[in-house]
Amino acid sequence: MRMKQTALKDVCVCLLISAGIIFGHETGPAVVRVVVEVGSDVVLPCSLSSKENIVDKLFDWRKDGQRKKEVFYYNAGIHYNNGHDGQDQQFKGRVSYFSDQLKNGNASIKIRNTKMTDSGNYTCDFPRLQPSQIFYIELVVGAPKPYIWTLNVTEDRVLLQCEVRGASPQPKVEWKDRAGNILPAEEPQVSDRGGRYYVTLLTTVTKTDHYRCVVTQEEIHHQTHSETYVFINEKLCEESSSKELIGWLGGLFSGLVLGVLTLAAVLVARKHIKRSLIKGKFI
């Protein structure tokens, strides 16, 4: 028993380096936690501290859930990728092992193109070793990059929408400008669909800048973002004001012309009236 505990501790130390995030429980088995962004590949670590050759041994990866799922099975060179039956549909064609690592007791696997449904607790089991060994790995698939939509563009403002599609645990969503200031935004719209959170956040911007929608899941130390560039044509505003000026000047000018013409007409009329008066008859 003591030997097993030491073995787990050693596993933890080397995984600290390779996996990044570790949660050693005071009681119960050590659990290695791996966090990955949805869509990327991930290595689930599992190594015997004895480093004994496992090329001719058996190891079995399973995923916990409502029902246990077969993730990867290897038995002395026979495995799911070369004909052995029984792999869960969810993992078909996405899981591989490191053949060159087996001689070092390394039964780590790689899962390609992770999906949200891959989140969960995995076990890596060596049932036939003396003593048998089992390792616990928690895979957390972090929130995907958010989608950004540009809505209601007007001359001097743009409405930006950020959308997170399915994240667990519930993420915090914020709009930031290039300098990192958090922008005032509307109340986020959150919907919970079977434990996955869909979040929409709107903000209105009035300046040319790079804007970032930042998605944070504090519990799992995961953060991701998307960025967009907004160009507000400040010249357009100046232009429109100079147009106004031209309009105003134009108005003034036509006013002047009209005034001069009126004056001329009045003068002509007066002369005519005077002449009529001199001649002694009116009209």
Ligand X SMILES: *[C@@H]1O[C@H](CO)[C@@H](O)[C@H](O)[C@H]1NC(C)=O
Query: Where does this chain bind ligand X (CB under 6 A)?
Result: 14, 18, 43, 45, 47, 98, 101, 106, 108, 119-121, 138, 140, 152, 159
We find the least distance from the C-beta atom of residue 14 to ligand X, in angstroms, to be 4
Handedness of CA 178, 183, 185, 190 (dihedral sign): positive
Contacts of 62-66 with CB under 8 Å at 24 or more apart are 62/122, 62/123, 62/125, 63/88, 63/118, 63/120, 63/121, 63/122, 64/120, 64/121, 64/122, 64/123, 65/120
**CB closer to ligand X out of 18 and 113:** 18
We find the least distance from the C-beta atom of residue 228 to ligand X, in angstroms, to be 17
Task: Answer whether 124's CB lies under 8 Å from 61's CB.
Answer: yes
**CB closer to ligand X out of 98 and 248:** 98
Residue among 137, 104, 118, 99 at smallest CA distance from 41: 118
We find the least distance from the C-beta atom of residue 221 to ligand X, in angstroms, to be 14
CB atoms within 10 A of CB 198: 14
**CB closer to ligand X out of 102 and 243:** 102
Gap between the Cα atoms of 266 and 75, Å rounded = 113
We find the least distance from the C-beta atom of residue 184 to ligand X, in angstroms, to be 15
We find the least distance from the C-beta atom of residue 55 to ligand X, in angstroms, to be 14
Angle at 189 between CA 187 and CA 190, to 5 degrees: 125
Residue among 141, 139, 168 at smallest CA distance from 31: 139
We find the least distance from the C-beta atom of residue 255 to ligand X, in angstroms, to be 37
Task: Answer whether 210's CB lies under 8 Å from 178's CB.
Answer: yes
**CB closer to ligand X out of 14 and 273:** 14
We find the least distance from the C-beta atom of residue 200 to ligand X, in angstroms, to be 10
Q: Which residues contact 197 (CB under 8 A, 6 or more apart)?
A: 164, 166, 167, 168, 169, 170, 171, 190, 191
**CB closer to ligand X out of 47 and 224:** 47
**CB closer to ligand X out of 140 and 164:** 140
We find the least distance from the C-beta atom of residue 49 to ligand X, in angstroms, to be 9
**Cα(first)–Cα(last) distance of the chain, in Å?**
132
